[in-house]
Amino acid sequence: MGNRVEEALLDKALAQEKYLIASNILHDIGNAVIGLSSYVTRIRRLLEQDNSENLQNLAGFLKSQNDSIATAIGPTKADAIVKLVSGIAQTQKANQLDISNANLELQKIINHIQDILNIQRQYINNPDTSEKREIALKGLINDCIAMLLASFKKRGIHISIDVPDTLPLFIGDRTKLMQVILNVLKNSIEAIDIYASDKFVSLNGSASRNWLTLEIRDSGRGFDEETSKKLFTRGFTTKKTGTGLGLDHCRTILEAHDACIDVSSEGPGRGALTRIKFTV
Ligand SMILES: Nc1ncnc2c1ncn2[C@@H]1O[C@H](COP(=O)(O)OP(=O)(O)O)[C@@H](O)[C@H]1O
Ligand SMILES: [Mg+2]
């Protein structure tokens, strides 16, 4: 008997140890990736201040002045200078394009790593993967909105929440469900053009006999039918630096909750509606 207790204690200590190691690793990788990301951003900024056009203008100017330069230093030298400068201008432009593409790919990889880290962090924070308890939809939503409030404000997106606190409670893993809602809200934020005039995200909660439904509507760019078929395919993304892991991850979590999710749109430019249904 004593042995079993000892074994159980040892198991617990080992699990605790593993948990600590894993969370330290995630923390360190996370910090390293943030450092990496800041340099990639810096390179992108520098690239945006692209001055290859100046050099091209100079090449064009020298070409137009070929005759006067030839009078001064002779036609052979003039020709060589004009050719040299326009060659440099061309190479610089091509290199800049290459660097810019590589920078974009690098940012994609960083986003991918960050998405994976976020997913792993959840398991770490919640080693008992089936930690389910009673949840109030309203509280869940309020916590998610609080986390993204700065993003909404920065982009001038209006949020409206209509989730009555009289809705029935349901059973679930709070951390994982927050991840689902955060993913969906992030997609909405990313779908809304910063220059649009009427920017909103609205959340609506309702209950019927067997279902608790959360609808998240946005005024974003929406999508066509072809895209709608692929939304949940792991790795499908239409974003420059997207990973296409978000919705797949949402669906996996929701399926483990006997819940379902669908994302629809009336077409490009007409926003999107994400509907999540929990059984009660
Ligand atoms: N609210 C939305 N409005 C428009 N398109 C959306 C919306 N949500 C998801 N999508 C589409 O679904 C794709 C996949 O989403 P997701 O799995 O979260 O990956 P990611 O956000 O990394 O692209 C997005 O790239 C986008 O094309
Ligand atoms: Mg996403």
Q: Are strands 158-162 and 200-207 parallel, antiparallel or unpaired?
A: parallel
Using CA atoms, how far apart are residues 197 and 62, in angstroms rounded to an integer?
A: 46
Residues in CB range of 161: below 8 A, 6 or more apart: 141, 142, 145, 202, 203
pLDDT at position 128: 54
Q: How confident is the model at residue 175 (pLDDT cuts 50, 70, 90)?
A: confident
- Measured from CB, residues less than 6 Å from any atom of ligand 1 are 183, 187-188, 191, 218, 220-223, 227, 231, 236-239, 242-244, 246-248, 263, 272
- The highest-confidence range among 10-19, 20-29, 74-83, by mean pLDDT, is 74-83
Give me the mean pLDDT over the 265-274 stretch: 97
Q: Which residue has the tokens 């509507």?
A: 217
Q: Which residue has the tokens 């991840």?
A: 179
pLDDT at position 61: 95
Least confident of 107-121, 167-181, 248-262: 107-121
CATH 3.30.565.10 domain extents, the chain = 133-279
Q: Name the CA radius of gyration of the chain, rounded.
A: 27
Cα dist from 180 to 4, 33, 141, whole Å: 40, 23, 11
* DSSP string of 99-136, one letter each residue: HHHHHHHHHHHHHHHHHHHHHHHHHHH-SSTT--EEE-
Predicted TM-score of the model (pTM): 0.69
Cβ atoms of 41 and 149 within 8 Å: the answer is: no
Architecture in CATH for domain 133-279: 2-Layer Sandwich (3.30)
Q: Which of the pair, 275 or 173, is modelled with greater confidence?
A: 275
pLDDT at position 129: 55
Whether the pLDDT of residue 147 is over 60: the answer is yes
pLDDT tens for 219-250 read 999 999 999 999 999 999 999 888 899 999 99
> Mean pLDDT in the chain?
91
* DSSP string of 6-50, one letter each residue: HHHHHHHHHHHHHHHHHHHHHHHHHHHHHHHHHHHHHHHHHHHT-
Q: How confident is the model at residue 58 (pLDDT cuts 50, 70, 90)?
A: very high
**Which of 226, 230, 237, 275 is the best mutation target for the ligand 1 pocket, counting ligand atoms within 8 Å of the beta carbon and taking the most?**
237
Whether the pLDDT of residue 168 is over 90: the answer is yes
Least confident of 142-151, 161-170, 204-213: 142-151
**Which of 219, 225, 228, 231 is the best mutation target for the ligand 1 pocket, counting ligand atoms within 8 Å of the beta carbon and taking the most?**
231
How many angstroms is it from 62 CA to the middle of ligand 2?
A: 49
Instruction: Take residue 217 and report the two structure tokens written for it.
Output: 């509507």
How many angstroms is it from 112 CA to the middle of ligand 2?
A: 11
